[in-house]
Amino acid sequence: VGARGTLRQVAILGALQRAGAMKICTTVDAIEAVLAEPTGPMAAVMHIEGAEAIAKDLDMLHVLFAAGLRSVGPVWSRNNIFAEGVPFRFPGGPDIGSGLSDAGKRLVVECNQLGVVIDLSHLNEAGFNDVARLSDAPLIATHSNAHALCNTPRNLTERQLAVVRDSGGVVGLNFAAGFLRADGQMATDFGLDVMLRHLDHMIEHLGEDGVAIGSDFDGATVSDAITDCTGLPVLRSAMVAHGYDAALMEKLCHGNWMRVLRATWKDG
């Protein structure tokens, strides 16, 4: 999506806020205040996936930041002026292509200075490595799974999980079938046990502070047991039945996101 499309979506988000449906949050305190009012609006963090709206001069980054942008994925699955994305193919690994361009490196540095999350999901391995080298913030992949369990380029290798862990970062569980199933199929006939295996694996490699719920409902094919966001309580119940205690559930569903956002956003 280019600049025109992105600005249109920002306008829609602003209209939803004016209508009282959601609150654009730029601080963790603001998110927690919204969560404390269960009958109020939803908390929203403005994010763009694929930074095509931003030119090399990065002026649009500052415009979007002023509008509330606090999270940027440099690429989707396709390449752009900043980096190379990984394709939707199976099987395969993320070691595909070169790393960040010079513009991509400037984007990372500028996001660090502003306090904007850099989302590693969709980046290839070389781009991941460049962000890890350049960034002074916790590394975050908002919706990625374990490559050891599903051999797709969209998932993170055990080395990558270790790098995220050592940065104090977080990986959010992706609900998309093709990034969960061992056969890589985008088919919905799989149980929540598949999702739990990925959570267990990532907790083993990242620790309890390094894993969160990531979802990916926008266009993704998810398990019949969940279908859409109304199925989240079903997943939560399965996690509890699987043995996750109350303290771990709070970290996975809420606390770990709040921790990394507070460590990244300059205004808290």
Tens digit of each residue's pLDDT (9 = 90 or more) over 164-183: 999 999 999 999 999 999 99
Residues 53, 216, 118, 90: what is their CA dihedral angle, to the nearest 10 degrees? -90
- What count of other Cβ atoms lies within 10 Å of the Cβ of residue 261? 23
Q: Which residue has the tokens 């509890």?
A: 240
| 237 membership: H or E segment, kind and range | helix 232-241
Rg (CA), the chain: 18
What does each C-alpha distance from 188 to 27, 90, 177 come to in angstroms? 36, 17, 6
Q: Which two tokens stand for residue 132?
A: 């890890």
| Cβ within 8 Å of residue 242, ≥6 positions away | 196
Mean predicted confidence (pLDDT) in 42-59: 97
Checking if the pLDDT of 1 tops 80, the result is: no
Task: Return the HEC string of 83-114.
Answer: CCECCCCCCCCCCCCCCCCHHHHHHHHHHHHH
The pLDDT assigned to 219 comes to 78
Say if residue 268's pLDDT is above 70.
no
Would you place residue 189 in the very low, low, confident or very high pLDDT band (cuts 50, 70, 90)? very high
Helix (H, G, I), strand (E, B) or coil at 157: coil
Residue 242 predicted with pLDDT over 70 = yes
Q: For residue 261, what pLDDT is reported? A: 98
Residue type, 206: L
Mean pLDDT of the chain: 96
Q: Minimal CA–CA distance to 24: which of 36, 37, 11? A: 11
CA–CA distance, 161 with 210 (Å, rounded to integer)? 9
- CA–CA distance, 69 with 55 (Å, rounded to integer): 16
What residue type is assigned to position 145 of the chain?
A: N
The pLDDT tens digits for 75-92 are 998 999 999 999 988 999
Q: Mind listing the pLDDT tens digit for each residue in 192-203?
A: 999 999 999 999
| pLDDT reading at 250 higher than 90 | yes
Distance, in Å, from the CA atom of 210 to the CA atom of 162, rounded to the nearest integer, reads: 10
Place of tokens 């209209």: 15
Per-residue confidence band for 38, with pLDDT thresholds at 50, 70 and 90: confident
Q: What percent of the chain has pLDDT over 90?
A: 94
